[in-house]
Structure 1
């Protein structure tokens, strides 16, 4: 978890991701298909492949951002991963978390990665890029 306090970073729980999603699926309990976690895991693996410094963030109000990308001393991007944004409640939750992170860390690049939606949403003077996972992987594959 990202915090400017190293002590808080140490004492907050880490998120767990798996390197082999097939193995993870074969040994996990399957009460329901959770493709959202698979998508989040894929984004994590790709960010690691690109040697990004990755954190997640949780606000004091309990809002969470899946990935904060740190470069040097600054957070350069906040990424949410949501399989779909079909429900307004889901879209609002993802946007609210990104906007809180933007205010907290002065982040320029805000992204939501989904299954198939692609749009640039403007809220006031803030732009949020919504992009399908496959396209995000292709566009950013060489960075």
Structure 2
């Protein structure tokens, strides 16, 4: 909210559990401690992006984690997995 301002960050509902959505940047953000080694958590977090894509196609998808970094392709959606420290330091 510091980065985008409180008036530009939303919790997207519509039966989709996305943690944060920034309409100005068409950016969806999920936050989870770990996703790469836990298949259930990975499915839950990536499924939210797939559902969001039905309402808002081509949104940039970022999954912020404690320390993991990767790019996941889920049903044709690229999801950037990035550690919190790196995301906080990014301009």
**Normalising to structure 2: TM-score of the pair?**
0.85
State the alpha-carbon separation in 2 of the partners of residues 107 and 69 from structure 1: 13
Which ranges in structure 1 are unaligned for 5 or more consecutive residues? 1-47
User: What stretches of structure 1 move > 2 A for 4+ residues in a row?
Assistant: none
Q: Higher Cα Rg: structure 1 or 2?
A: 1
Cα distance change, pair 51–122 in 1 and its aligned pair in 2 (3 A): closer
* Structural RMSD (CA): 1.6
Find the partner of 2:34 among 53, 65, 84.
84
- 1:102 is the counterpart of 2:53: yes
More helix by share: 1
Partner secondary structure for residue 62 of structure 2? strand
Partner secondary structure for residue 50 of structure 1? coil
State the alpha-carbon separation in 2 of the partners of residues 58 and 51 from structure 1: 19
| Aligned residue-pair number | 88
State the alpha-carbon separation in 1 of the partners of residues 4 and 63 from structure 2: 20
Maintained 8 Å contact 1:101/1:107: no
Partner secondary structure for residue 55 of structure 1? coil
1:105-120 superposed matches below 5 A:
105-120=56-71
